[in-house]
Structure 1
Amino acid sequence: MHLHGTSQINAAGRLEIGGCDTAELAARFGTPLYVFDEALIRRRCREFMDAFRATGLRFQVAYASKAFCVMAMCRIAEEEGLSLDVVSDGELYTALRAGFPADRIHFHGNNKTPEELEMAIDAKIGCIVVDNFTELYMLNEIAKEKSARVSILFRVTPGVEAHTHEFISTGQTDTKFGFDIGNGSAFRAIREAVSLSNVDILGVHSHIGSQIFETDGFKLAADRVCDFAQNVRKELGVTFPVINLGGGFGIRYTEGDTPLPVGQYVQAITDSIKAKLAEYDYPMPEIWIEPGRSIVGDAGTTLYTIGSTKDIPGVRKYVSVDGGMTDNPRPALYDAKYEAFLANRANDPSEETVSIAGKCCETGDMLIWDLELPKTKPGDLLAVFCTGAYNYSMASNYNRLRRPAVVFVRDGEADLVVRRETFEDVAGKDVVPERLRKQAVAKS
């Protein structure tokens, strides 16, 4: 089993993360439980920052908060010197409430509402990443009404298809995101923005996908974005101060995943931009990137308590846990793969092949197929690794299950950063119309 960060097997034969025994964490906070290795999160942040510092270029590393957005995570990003990208008013509110510096926040999204744009402008955030013509004109009008000027990046699609799942590929031509370079809409957007009164053009943003294990896609995207930048400078006289190549850097979920060292991604991106712009004698812009999964993904572990089993002779043995697609929808959405073992019996040898089932009323609520484990019994603790990205963020209350708690562990201390939902949280916002109350009284 591949252990990440500070994870280790302690003398009691139990999984320990950040110096904390996971069996004790489960007893204290309950399960399912998201456990984050704070030291590993900070190490990942520093890997990106150090890789860019080594290039000598001006840069920003913006944590893509959609991967995992809670106030404690925003505080870590701020302390480590990262910027932050958000894609909704809820993420923006979380960042601002956490005290994150507004001038280091970037706002993404393909369908920002007028209310979201007003909120961003009022907060004086660093920039808004414009995704379409509707947004461009609306943003300019709102800024005009507020007597404000707004710095913007244009999200462009460079026509690069990353080698990833089709639902998380975003750099190709046929996507809901951004202005296409190939069909000329990106150029038209820049030309329109030049004539608008209340926007300032910072540059362009490109994102080609997620969970990428090679640099070729990033290099090709960099070349095409730089070619576009030169064309804009030549035809419109606009020189971009910023080029943003997005994120998508892969992590290791299972043995077959082969992510590159952070520095290799950064070097490939910056070398490509420098080489291409040198051909045009183009002033070197500030380089931005947006890692999300690669900051928090392998720092997260989800703990479950094992309950019932179902053995179908000659077919399969199902082992059920007290969570499932409500706290980790990625296997159902993307056929995502995970590794796991028994956290309370980590040294016990594997004896059987089982499949880990969630407790939702869905046949497709399966977390892991064909996992080698010791013979399990009710009450055993299953640890599923690399659940830090897009698990808590995408969690739901399907079947009215309560979303789990989240703890950060470091140096033997465990800090609760999100409380487990209560029944009141689940039903507390329900409203029963008076006419239905009357009917209930009448029937009784």
Structure 2
Amino acid sequence: MPTAHPSGWAHADGALRGPHWLSAPEDPNALLPQLWSTTAEKTDGVLSVGGVTLPDLVAEHGSPAYVLDEADFRARAAAFRDGFADFDVFYAGKSFLATTVARWVAEEGLHLDVCSAGELLVAERAEFPMERVGFHGNNKTVAELERALTLGVGRIIVDSFTEIERIGAVAVELGRTARVMVRVTAGVEAHTHEFIATAHEDQKFGFSIASGDAFEAARRVLATEGLTLLGLHSHIGSQIFDTSGFEVAARRVLALHARIASELGHVSPEMDLGGGFGIAYTSQDDPQTPADLATRLGKIVDDECAIFGLERPRLSIEPGRAIVGPSMCTVYEVGTVKRVALDGGQHRTYVSVDGGMSDNIRTALYDADYSATLASRASGAEPTLSRIVGKHCEAGDIVVKDEFLPGDVAPGDLVAVPATGAYCRSMASNYNHALRPPVISVRDGQTFVVLRRETVEDLLSTDVGA
């Protein structure tokens, strides 16, 4: 049986060879276009995004920094809007949300999914049309529900029997009607190309279809004053690259939809298929276009509806990562380069940067793969398998596990990591009292601050000690 290395996965046998899909490039200065936003390009080795070179951006705004390509974000939002023309497309705000981004989402005609009072507050601040907002979460407080109903959010996704009672009570007290969807677990979990249809009811989200809880939840919603049932909501996973898992889930969710219509006399007008559409983090990833996804998902639902003799409900999806993920990169400054001698005459090159797990926890948390490039100059050096690490007091503080960088990378160089739009800033922390980086939007050669860099005053503002 394989066992974990006591110092962590990064030290396991074979780690020095890198993953099977990573090979040394002919030119370590070149970009892989599929990993970057559409305006990213290199001139004489210097990376620019939105017409702004990263050295110039760092000179103005400092390092590290998240760089958000506005034109690319809007184009990806529009691609989902147009590709899913007969769906409602909810941008998943948990991936990355700021007032500016919420306004872009509204201007591109998308809906917005939020899952906390804070995210709802940003939507309110951006004057987002509340009828186009959905409110998720497995433990919404009375205060959150009161605010959501007072603002007139378009739908609330219910996640427990307690919450059904809670929403109903708040709705009656406020004299409102809450439009709700029942989140169900269909017994399908999707991880890239593996679809396993058993043993995935053990999670905090949703009502199990298999146990009967989902049907009972729908019955209680219909019986509760102040609530109206819009339909069922299903989410099967993240970073999904084909639609096989959706097919299995849709069959089970539509069977429940049909049972609710038959036994409870309610034909729900809507159904949400969730999100989780994959993006390219490395050369091994090959995502589908929104138009292709829409065609395939629509056909899956149409085929299942025909089997059950049902009219197709109004469908919705919730892309977040698929829109903002590729639209953002993170730029760092190299602080040290260390070539560590290992057993058997092998070496590992560690490239330490001025950020790390405080601005991108996904590598440590999910064993996520990322790519990187030298962003500030051209190099004629041979490509060297390197590991980009952060400055935090953790052995697992790794930003990019394996990447071929030029062998002469040195302190003062800039490196950039693509596809960091989703969850990196959203999950950023002040670990080791780090200051969270800014988000700088770029477009047509101009920079705009979306979120400013934290300051020492911000850091100490909650420290009330003498």
Normalising by structure 1, we get a TM-score of 0.93
CA deviations 1:149-191 (Å, max 9, x no partner) are 100000011111212599xx99932211001111100000111
The answer to whether the 8 A contact 2:372-2:416 is kept is: yes
Deviation at 1:358, TM superposition (A): 0.3
Task: Verify: 1:418 aligned to 2:447, yes or no.
Answer: no
The CA RMSD over aligned residues, in Å, is 1.8
State the Cα distance separating 1:132 from its structure 2 match. 0.7
Q: Is the 8 A contact 1:172 1:208 kept in 2?
A: no
Q: Is 1:372 the counterpart of 2:404 in the alignment?
A: yes
2:417 to 378, 381, 384: 384
State the one-letter code of the partner of 1:410.
R
Residues 68-111 of structure 1, C-alpha deviation per residue, up to 9 Å, x if partnerless?
A: 01111101100000000001000000111011111111000111
Question: Which AA in structure 1 matches 2:158?
Answer: V
Measure the CA separation in 2 of the matches of 1:346 and 1:224: 54
Aligned equivalent of 2:8: none
Is residue 2:43 matched to residue 1:15?
Answer: no
Report deviation, 1:408: 1.1
- In the alignment, structure 1 residue 2 sits paired with structure 2 residue 35: no
- 1:341-365 deviations in Å (ceiling 9; x for gaps): 1101245444422211100111110
CA drift at 1:275? 1.7
User: Aligned AA for 1:233?
Assistant: A
1:266 aligned residue (273, 285, 294): 294
The 5 A counterparts of 1:36-435 are 36-53=68-85, 57=86, 59-164=87-192, 172-313=200-341, 314-346=346-378, 348-374=380-406, 375-432=408-465
- CA distance in structure 2 between the aligned counterparts of 1:430 and 1:385, rounded to whole angstroms: 35
Following TM superposition, where does structure 1 have runs of at least 4 consecutive aligned residues deviating by more than 6 angstroms? none
Q: Tell me the SS of whatever aligns to 2:254.
A: helix
1:279, distance to aligned residue in structure 2 (A): 2.7
Q: 1:10 to 1:220 in 2, by over 3 A?
A: same
Structure 1 residue 271, shift from structure 2 partner: 0.9
CA distance change for structure 1 residues 369 and 52 in 2, over 3 Å: closer, same or farther?
Answer: closer
Q: CA deviation at 1:281?
A: 3.0
Letter in 2 for 1:345: R
Question: Displacement, 1:315?
Answer: 2.9
Mean CA deviation greater in 410-419 or 240-249: 410-419
Deviations along 1:370-425, one digit per CA (max 9) or x if unpaired, are 32112112110010011010000000000000000101111111111110000000
Question: Taking structure 1 as reference, are residues 171 and 30 closer, same or farther at Cα in structure 2, changes over 3 Å only?
Answer: farther
SS of the residue corresponding to residue 370 of structure 2 reads coil
What SS is found at the alignment partner of 1:152? Answer: strand
In 2, the alpha carbon distance for the partners of 1:394 and 1:11 equals 32
Between the two proteins, the alignment pairs up a number of residues equal to: 427
Percentage of pairs with the same residue: 47
- C-alpha distance in 1 between matches for 2:316 and 2:75: 19
Q: Name the aligned partner's letter for residue 289 of structure 2.
A: P
**Distance in 2 (alpha carbons) for counterparts of 1:82 and 1:38:** 16
Partner of 2:25: none
CA distance in 1, matches of 2:223, 2:42: 64
Indicate the SS of the match to 1:91: helix
Contact 2:337 2:351 in 1 (8 A): yes
Q: Give the alignment's TM-score, normalised by structure 2.
A: 0.89
Contact in 1 for aligned 2:389/2:399 (Cα 8 Å): yes
Asked whether the 8 Å contact 1:306–1:321 carries over to 2, the reply is yes
Q: Distance in 2 between matches of 1:21 and 1:250?
A: 28
Q: CA deviation at 1:48?
A: 1.2
